[in-house]
């Protein structure tokens, strides 16, 4: 009996498949098995998979017709032998000590854990560049109302959890199936976050560009399907606001920016909680997101005190003067409206000795809320 099971569903990812498989096979911790499921690939995937067919802890399943992601995920669950199970993207890979770190962390817990997730690196394929990804450390059902930034990478589920949430919903065969699954999974048992980056999530592949219309429609359906779950954990007015937003973008075909928009809306709604009785903020960043940020400030009755931008200071946006960040002094709450420059902003604030005195909320480019420092 194995303690862990890795599942690799694959469709036409021959270019990266061997790196993915080898990163698992060569783990320093050995009490695991691997299930590789090829969903009727037309490239050289099967040739690569067959290299591993004689390994005792590897099981290979080949589909004669393409069955889709959700079906393939569930087939992996049904064949899994481990107490904990994870699904790996066949173009991603993990550190060789990833499982050792996870097993050590689980062994230190004094209660049964049903859901463990870790952080990851983002591998930008076209630029051959690696950068940090971010996952909310204490993800809540309420945050999932605005999307999901938990990847399947190094996310392990107990077999009990999988049986209780009945696997993936095969109605969502193309996009959103992991989002729906995690909503239900988070309601079951104990979840825990391991603060280590153990995996590499590959982005920028030509064949992985999402169809945003399918994604938005599926997300809308998922929110409706899981309404009872959300209403147990969040305000009904917030839930209804998000539903109306999806209805608006679907009716008006405004799909391309919906992930950015819905995450920013969620960031603002969470921000209102952290602000408590405060009703004003300052904004760092006067780029393309500023229009939506100002709209949301008006929507949620948040006063804007100052706007800062190191490239646009001494200009105006509408009636708002843009100021030099060096003038940041008594701003009690700063919203960082920057998708690509947040590390430099952090360094600037630290160099000015400001990071220890103010509240900051970062809006992250990979669809997550990064709370850098919140002071009650």
pLDDT digits (tens, 9 = 90+) for 302-326: 889 999 999 999 999 999 999 999 9
Read off φ and ψ for residue 201, nearest 5 degrees.
-100, 115
Out of 39-53, 142-156, 160-174, which region has the weakest mean confidence (pLDDT)? 142-156
Asked if residue 177 and residue 295 are part of one domain, the reply reads no
Look up residue 95 and give its two tokens. Answer: 């550190």
- Residues 23 and 132 reside in one and the same domain: yes
Positive or negative, the CA dihedral 78, 79, 85, 86 is negative
CATH number of the domain residue 77 falls in: 3.90.550.10
Q: Which of 49-58, 146-155, 246-255 has the lowest mean pLDDT?
A: 146-155
Q: Is the domain of 249 the same as that of 299?
A: no
Write the CB contacts of 304 (distance below 8 Å, at least 6 apart in sequence).
Answer: 280, 281, 282, 283, 294, 297, 320
Q: Report the pLDDT value the prediction gives residue 376, as an integer from 0 to 100.
A: 32
Question: Quick one: pLDDT at residue 173?
Answer: 67
Looking at the fold, whether 311 and 186 belong to one and the same domain comes out as: no
203 and 114 part of one domain: yes
Alpha helix segments (H runs only) across 68-203: 69-79, 98-107, 141-144, 159-165, 177-186
Is 226 or 355 the better-scoring residue by pLDDT? 226
Q: At 77, is the pLDDT very low, low, confident or very high (cuts 50, 70, 90)?
A: very high
Total domains present in the chain: 3
Determine the pLDDT at residue 32.
98
What is residue 142's predicted lDDT score, i.e. its pLDDT? 85
From 182, 89, 84, 99, select the one nearest 140 (Cα to Cα).
182
- Band of the pLDDT at 258, cuts 50, 70, 90? confident
Among 66-70, 75-79, 265-269, whose mean pLDDT is lowest? 265-269
- Whether 230 and 288 map to the same domain: the answer is no
Q: Residue 94 pLDDT > 80, yes or no?
A: yes
Q: What angle do CA 354, 360, 366 make, to 5 degrees?
A: 130
Most confidently modeled range among 190-204, 218-232, 292-306: 218-232
Name the residue range of residue 250's domain.
215-256
Residue with more model confidence, 38 or 350? 38
**Helices (H), ranges, 166-289:** 177-186, 212-225, 227-233, 236-251, 258-275
Note whether 26 and 133 are same-domain residues.
Answer: yes
CA nearest neighbour of 157 among 64, 242, 77, 79: 77
91 and 166 share a domain?
yes
pLDDT at residue 205 greater than cutoff 60: no
Q: Give the pLDDT confidence score for residue 134 in this predicted structure.
A: 56
Boundary residue ending a domain (256, 285, 314): 256
> Where residue 331 falls among pLDDT bands split at 50, 70, 90?
confident
Who's near 256: CB < 8 A, 6+ residues apart? 212
The pLDDT of residue 300 is 77
Burial class (CB in 10 A: 0-12, 13-18, 19+), 143: buried
**What is the reported pLDDT for 287?**
82
Q: What phi and psi, each to the nearest 5 degrees, are found at residue 4? A: -130, 145
228 shares a domain with 109: no
Examine the domain organization and report whether 199 and 219 are in the same domain: no
The confidence band for 344, taking pLDDT boundaries of 50, 70 and 90, is: confident
pLDDT on residue 189? 79
Q: Is the pLDDT of residue 289 over 90?
A: no
Which class for 287: exposed (0-12), middle (13-18), buried (19 or more C-beta within 10 A)? middle
Looking at the whole model, is its pTM more than 0.85?
Answer: no
> Where is pLDDT greater, at 98 or 365?
98
Reported as a pLDDT band with limits 50, 70 and 90, residue 298 is confident
Q: Which of 209, 226, 247 is the last residue of a domain?
A: 209
Do 241 and 112 belong together in one domain?
Answer: no
Rounded to whole angstroms, how far apart are CA atoms 273 and 291? Answer: 22
Can you give the CATH number for the domain in which 286 is found? 3.40.50.720
Q: Report the pLDDT averaged over residues 227-250.
A: 91
Rank 56-60, 138-142, 149-153 by mean pLDDT and report only the highest.
56-60
In the predicted model, what is the mean pLDDT of the chain? 84
Range from 219-223, 245-249, 361-365 carrying the lowest mean pLDDT:
361-365
Residues 205 and 344 occupy one common structural domain:
no
């Amino acid at each position: 009996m194995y303690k862990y099971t890795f599942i690799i569903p694959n469709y036409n990812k021959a270019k990266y498949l061997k790196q993915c498989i080898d990163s698992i096979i060569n783990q320093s911790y050995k009490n695991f098995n691997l299930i590789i499921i090829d969903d009727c690939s037309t490239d050289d995937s099967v040739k690569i998979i067959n290299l591993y067919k004689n390994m005792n802890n590897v099981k290979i399943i080949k589909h004669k017709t393409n069955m889709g992601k959700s079906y393939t995920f569930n087939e992996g669950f049904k064949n899994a032998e481990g107490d904990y199970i994870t699904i790996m993207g066949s173009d991603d890979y993990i550190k060789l000590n990833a499982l050792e770190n996870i097993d050590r962390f689980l062994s230190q817990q004094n209660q049964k854990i049903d859901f463990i997730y870790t952080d990851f690196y983002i591998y930008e394929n076209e630029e051959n560049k690696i950068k940090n990804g971010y996952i909310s450390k204490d993800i809540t059902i309420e945050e999932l109302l605005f999307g999901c930034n938990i990847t399947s990478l190094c996310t392990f589920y107990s077999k009990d959890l999988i049986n209780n949430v009945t696997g993936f919903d095969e109605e969502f065969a193309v996009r959103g199936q992991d989002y729906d699954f995690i909503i239900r999974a988070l309601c079951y048992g104990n979840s825990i976050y391991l603060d280590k980056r153990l995996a590499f999530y590959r982005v920028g592949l030509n064949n992985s560009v999402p169809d945003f219309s399918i994604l938005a429609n599926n997300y809308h359906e998922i929110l409706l399907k899981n309404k009872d779950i959300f209403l147990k954990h969040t305000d009904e007015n917030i839930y209804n606001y998000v539903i109306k937003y999806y209805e608006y973008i679907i009716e008006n075909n405004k799909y391309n920016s919906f992930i950015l928009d819905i995450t920013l809306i969620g960031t603002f709604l969470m921000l209102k909680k952290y602000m408590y009785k405060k009703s004003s903020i300052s904004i760092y960043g006067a780029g393309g997101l500023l229009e939506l940020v100002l709209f949301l400030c008006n929507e949620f009755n948040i006063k804007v005190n100052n706007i800062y931008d190191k490239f646009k200071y001494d200009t105006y946006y509408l009636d708002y003067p843009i100021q030099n960040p060096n003038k940041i002094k008594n701003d009690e709450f700063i919203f960082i409206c920057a998708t690509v420059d947040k590390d430099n902003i952090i360094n600037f604030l630290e160099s000015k000795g400001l990071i220890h005195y103010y509240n900051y909320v970062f809006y992250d480019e990979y669809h997550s809320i990064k709370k850098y420092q919140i002071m009650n």
